[in-house]
Copies of this chain bind each other. A is one copy, B any other.
Amino acid sequence: MSTLAREPFTVLWLQSGGCGGCTMSLLCAEAPDLAATLASANIRFLWHPTLSEETGDEAIALFEAVLAGEVRLDALCIEGALLRGPNGTGRFHTLAGTDTATIDWARRLAAVAEHVVAVGTCAAYGGVTAAGVNPADACGLQYDGRRPGGALGAAFRSRSGLPVVNVAGCPTHPNWVTETLMLLASDLMRAEDLDSYGRPRFYADHLVHHGCPRNEYYEYKASAEKMSDLGCMMEHLGCLGTQAHADCNTRLWNGEGSCTRGGHACINCTAPEFEEPGHAFLETPKIGGIPVGLPTDMPKAWFIALSSLAKAATPDRLRRNATADHVLTPPAVRDIRKR
């Protein structure tokens, strides 16, 4: 079956209270590049602020045509948090040229869209824009932090019957976005394919810890103590990889990268309210010397017992390398015979 048999799957993309980083990331799609990826599933951007030719009136005319039902809208993508301030007016972001709050545009367009996709943690839950005192009264499309609600309300369902699809991540991996759109275009995304925070399970059912190259250090709790150390960053440097729902270490970023491959902690950027961990991001909070963030499903006591044993068993190699910024002792070359 050729993918070209049917109508294109149309996408309209708006940006509001975000940093544009999700789009910047999206443009990094590779193997194949963004255009080829979208074309392979017959996905067409009606308009995207970074890519489209149409400016000003031309763009507004298109939005109006969509609202009027003249142009079918399969997916409305929103990047950036929705701003409710000041005082519920939403005027901390009026869509340029329209004198209308962007949050209102979002609500009107969401009403006619087959699917609504929140691109990035901002659009999903408020994200960094909602951090601290949340000066702009930012929220996500269907969540306000961990609380359901947000710009469209907890009850919102798009025409397809799905809630907002929360492609959370700050930024999103390019292919979290393209694959979500492709799955929607292929009619393969059902409600049960979203997790309890509305994230596509295809990436949210993984943990960042899966495939982290520091796994061997983790196994022995051979821990990095300072930035640039090679050891596992869970014990001291704030790594939440064992709890963060994402496939960053199996999918990889920008070639061979990922946060932990880049030497810094996973800060759990796909989670609602990741922006307020309650401690310094790059420091692991401890109670009684025990890290408070423990792996998902892991009974704490077991973890502690295992950890202390593992520490006792740590091979010298890992013990030394964990706190160095390059390998001091390589793994021994041993012949693998029958024992």
Contact = CB atoms under 8 A, between A and B. Distances in A.
A208 B273 CA distance: 35
A20 B111 CA distance: 58
Q: Which of A195, A216, A285, A303: most chain B Cβ within 10 A?
A: A216
Nearest to A333: B196
A197 interface: yes
Contact of A215 (B212, B272, B293, B298): B212
Contact of A250 (B195, B201, B261, B338): B261
Sorting the interface of chain A by its residue count into under 10, 10 to 19, 20 to 34 or 35 or more gives 35 or more
Interface stretch (A5-13, A37-45, A81-89, A324-332): A324-332
B201 A207 contact: no
Nearest to A272: B335
Given A285-B338, A310-B306, A207 B31 contact: no
A130 to B, nearest CB: 16
A278 B210 contact: no
Interface string A290-308: 0011011111001101100
23 contacts: A196-B333, A207-B216, A210-B215, A210-B216, A211-B212, A211-B215, A211-B249, A213-B249, A218-B219, A219-B219, A245-B331, A250-B256, A252-B252, A271-B335, A278-B337, A285-B338, A292-B338, A296-B315, A296-B334, A298-B315, A299-B313, A302-B309, A302-B312
